[in-house]
Amino acid sequence: MIKTDRIEIQCPQCGHNEFEHPEKLKDNDFIKCNNCHFEIMLADLKEVGMEQAKDVIIPEAKAEAEKIFKNLFKGFK
């Protein structure tokens, strides 16, 4: 299974996050989705993963910032 630090890369076809892949992965190796058998080159999957990570990280960071702001303003009431 390919994982980034905290976000699993999802299959661009079906959203599954387990892939079949060779032991030693190179960027130009093809890996296959365990669920829908969609094949994608590792280099491309990494890019998809980066895009997915952006979508997840930004809302999370926003929520975190909002929490911090809320706490800050509590003291001023």
13 counts as binding Zn ion under rule CB under 5 A: yes
Question: Do 45 and 26 meet the contact criterion of CB atoms below 8 Å apart?
Answer: no
Indicate which single residue of 7, 8, 32, 38 sits in contact with Zn ion (rule: CB under 5 A): 38
Confirm or reject binding of residue 35 to Zn ion (CB under 5 A).
yes
Which one of 20-28, 36-44, 46-54, 66-74 is the stretch in contact with Zn ion (CB under 5 A)?
36-44
Q: Least distance (Å) from Zn ion to the CB of residue 18?
A: 9
In the complex, which residues of this chain contact Zn ion (CB under 5 A)?
A: 11, 13-14, 16, 33, 35-36, 38
